[in-house]
Amino acid sequence: MAKFSACIEMLFVPETDAFAQRIHLAKGEGFDLVEFWLWSNKDLDAIERALAETGVKLAGIVAEPFAELTRARDHDRFLAGLEKSRDVAVRLGAPILICQSGPLLEGIERARQHDALTTAMARSADVLAGSGVTLALEPLNDRVDHPGYYLTSTAEGLAIADAVNRPEIGLTYDMYHSMVMDEDPETVLAGGLSRIFHVHLADHPGRHQPGSGRLPIKQKLAWLEAQGYAGAVGLEFKPTGSTADALAMMRGSLG
């Protein structure tokens, strides 16, 4: 069965505004893994205490700052922040940092933006080398949630990871974003699972819990497991009601 990670930016939000307390609530729902987005706006001491008190592990956090990695002149700013993000990840025990490509830039050939993003990943590998922390670039959909985003194609993301060819660099595969873009996981991930460091899921439409929409999530998770994917699956969805009710629906739909 999948190793589920509770994204506490979206789960347990109706239940408490005390961010670190969500780690305790996740443990109470049976989670051994949690994840969140930005670290710079969080009480890291409180998070560290909550992780220690519960024994819950941190699956991943977002690499800061958000940057236009499709634009070469923004790379130095990102890499300086990546050093700090790496250190926070090491402190909290998170093996994965998640990053985004940035926007599709007007007036610049797509091939140049692709090359800039590839260079950013290669330079990031140098920052992370030897730390035990990896960087997982995330394709997103531009149809519903992220208009103007550059990296909407899983195939292109895998091509970038293959071109960099470093163990520090891979992808976060968000099943929701992928299927909103009409990708089929079994097709786009064929032969590429070694580059998938982390998985996210939500149902569509609405980006709510599995079982609330029409995506064949149970089938696709079973395929991932059969192919040997052993990483975490982040539950990055908006509960339609209480988190407990949403999780009950999810568990029922995934059987």
For residue range 217-254, list pLDDT tens digits in order.
999 999 999 999 999 999 999 999 999 999 999 999 99
Flag whether pLDDT at 1 surpasses 80: no
pLDDT digits (tens, 9 = 90+) for 184-212: 999 999 999 999 999 999 999 999 999 99
Q: Domains of the chain: which residue ranges?
A: 3-241
- Rounded to whole angstroms, how far apart are CA atoms 23 and 58? 10
Fold of 3-241: TIM Barrel (3.20.20)
Closest CA to 230 of 19, 13, 1: 1
pLDDT value for 2: 72
Question: Percent of the chain having pLDDT more than 90?
Answer: 99
pLDDT at 255: 86
Give CA separation, 36 vs 109, 183, 247, in Å.
Answer: 34, 26, 18
Half-sphere exposure of 78 (CA within 13 A, CB side): 29
* Local confidence band at 131 (pLDDT 50, 70, 90 cut-offs): very high
Mean pLDDT over 132-152 rounds to: 98
- State yes or no: pLDDT of 72 exceeds 60: yes
Grade residue 180 by pLDDT with cuts at 50, 70 and 90.
Answer: very high
In which band, very low, low, confident or very high, does the pLDDT at 59 lie, cut at 50, 70 and 90?
A: very high
Radius of gyration of the chain (CA): 17
Please give the pLDDT value at position 62.
98
Averaged pLDDT for residues 93-102: 98
Report how far Cα 168 is from the mean position of its chain's Cα atoms: 15
- The CB-based long-range contact list for 210-219 (8 Å cut-off, 24+ gap) reads 210/237, 210/249, 210/250, 210/253, 210/254, 211/249, 211/250, 211/252, 211/253, 211/254, 212/240, 212/246, 212/249, 215/175, 215/176, 215/179, 217/175, 217/253, 217/254, 218/253, 218/254, 218/255
Average pLDDT over residues 22-40: 98
Q: Are 203 and 210 in contact (CB under 8 A)?
A: yes
Structure tokens at 220: 């696709």
Cβ neighbours, 10 Å, residue 147: 10
CA distance 161 to 138: 11
Count Cα atoms within 13 angstroms, Cβ side, for 103. Answer: 7
Contact 202, 6 (CB under 8 A): no
Spatial CA neighbour of 97 closest among 167, 197, 19: 197
Answering whether pTM is above 0.85, one says: yes
pLDDT at 170 over 70: yes
Summary mean pLDDT of the chain: 97
**158 residue type, one letter:** L
